[in-house]
Structure 1
Amino acid sequence: MDELDRYLDQICRGVAGPRALRQHIRQELGEHLRDAVAGHRAAGMTEADAVARAIEDFGGPDAVRAELLAAHGQRFMTVVIDRTIQWKEATMKARWLWTTWAHLALVGMIALNVALILFVTTALVPMHRNLLMRDGLFPELHVSERNFLTWSWSFLGELPTLSDGLWWAGGAAAAIALFEWRVRGENKSLVRLSLLGTTALGLTGVVALTLFALVVSAQVTVMGLYVQAPEKRVAAQTAGVDASVAALEQAVAQKDWDEIRYKANSAALEMGKLTRAGAFAPTLVAMQQQSKTDDLRAQLKTAQASLREAYEAAGKKDAPGVDAALKKFHEAYSPVEGIAAKK
């Protein structure tokens, strides 16, 4: 059967199509040839003569291969086409995978930014305002700081409009539906990515401005609270307690128990602020001797000015000037040292 195998190899070599097709052709031709050989052997021929006669009756390998090539094409071009199709499929799969991931990443970023903005506007901004927006604070700040706080609170005050309703969500859904319905073309995916990226960038800018307004305004406000004279704060807190108690007494006079309960809670909260304020009691005591407090503050300012004079004298290498400034400092600061030493 070696002659049959060589004959089949000569025929099937170069036939187009996948390997499974060539194996199928070889199997079909082999079965026909073996049936022919078996018939010749039954007629009394030897095996070698039967094989040769079967091949001769079947036709030369070139003729048979020519018929197969006419039906299936050259193998080389088919292999090239198969490889090209496989490469195209792999490329399309990779492009689909990474394009889908890019879309999902941008959508997730947009959703995260929207969630952060809603959280800030509904939770952080009211808490931030109640904590840091204090009466009598702005006059203690520099003009630029007051202008910045005015801008920051104006900006933060506009953000809650995003969470007042779902008008923006409806507009976004309508825009997406209109885009998917009307836009056509092979660049639609790129256009969609560009729109999502632009939206994500815009929302990221809003988030950045929001965080900037929150953090910097908190820093400016805390510094303002630090340098503010406590008398104004104590007076404002005391006035808040007085107003709450007056409202409670008015509700008691009207016998409106729901309002009484609400006003009592408000008054308790205002009083709790005084209880937790560590500087309230000593400030209230100091307010009874306001003239001494004012004199002490004047001495502190004099001590600061004397140290500034020492700094300037040191720059001029003026030893007598430094000594005079230090003497002036100790004269102004000695009352503070005496009071602090008693504690």
Structure 2
Amino acid sequence: MAILTNEEYNTLWTAPAPIGFGQIGCPPCYHEYLQREIYAQDFLDLYIGEPTFIRVPIPVQGGVEFYVQITGNPILGGLGIPPHPTLVLSHGGNEYLLIDYPYPWTPAELNVERYIRKILIAEAAPPQNPRIAIYGANNIQNSYFYNYQHNNITPYFSDPCTAFAIPAGAKRDRLITLADGGVVLLDLFPFALNYTSAFRNNLNLTGITNSFFNNVGNIYSVTNRVLEKIANHLMCIDFINGTNSVLIAPPIISFHLAHQINIIPVVMDTNPLIFTIGENLPGHNPLTPDGRLFFDIPAETALADMQIPLGKKPFTIRVPRYICSAYDGSGQRPHPFFINNALL
């Protein structure tokens, strides 16, 4: 798997647009980024069939904490991970990265044939609330998609679960069921920020959003990460023949990318996720006189007889299968109905 080195992470933060964010000063915590990558890889292990990051239990003040060894690790060892007062531990001559829990899956849970069939493209992980103590997780407030102990369940987890009919239950079990259905979530950006509308608009206008989506010169682009998964044989065999993807980022980001997919044919040629852009969803209407794009919801659905505004735009766009699932009326959140429609 490809994890950004400390240097690459900092470069993506400071490099000028469109490759980087063009920011001054320190980026969001690199060590927390590494933790998120490990939890995401835990999930991908359900497709690989074997563990990637074995945990090491180490006695600490008040009990036992779980770590992944950095020293000598074939993935982490070459990343240039700097010291951290609470997240990196020196013990017995080795360096270790703190992780919230032991390895999550049993051998039986790994020993199931699974392939990626549906890719959800989100914006970025939420900022992590501070740990309650030096060694104490803050699970009630935190909400990272792949951390099964983060119990603040936001629409970015619950709405895909609703869309794919994932039964209620423990988050760990629901993650397994999502993997059984071939679902994977990818964030566009590696930086956990409170993204504002003004900041999102700047990402769009300066080409940064496009770069992190589809630029093969951007090491973290969605294109490169999907190509890596294809190369590692994690995608189902019929992926290039119709497995679908859906944008579940907030509308400013999702609408921008949906528009780019429609107007720039090169996206079709270079991004392995894009297959058809000429197909409209049932009941799609063109731009209305007040400048809004609407869907008429088919009568047989639970949202029958409702018109849902998808955002005020100065252009008319066709709605491809690769579609944004958020809409203005949802309060900047995805919606199970549109996730389902995008993946028809």
Normalised by the length of structure 2, the TM-score is: 0.21
- Structure showing the higher helix proportion among its residues: 1
- Structure showing the higher strand proportion among its residues: 2
Greater relative contact order (Cα 8 A, min sep 6): structure 1 or 2? Answer: 2
Compare CA radii of gyration and give the structure with the larger one: 1
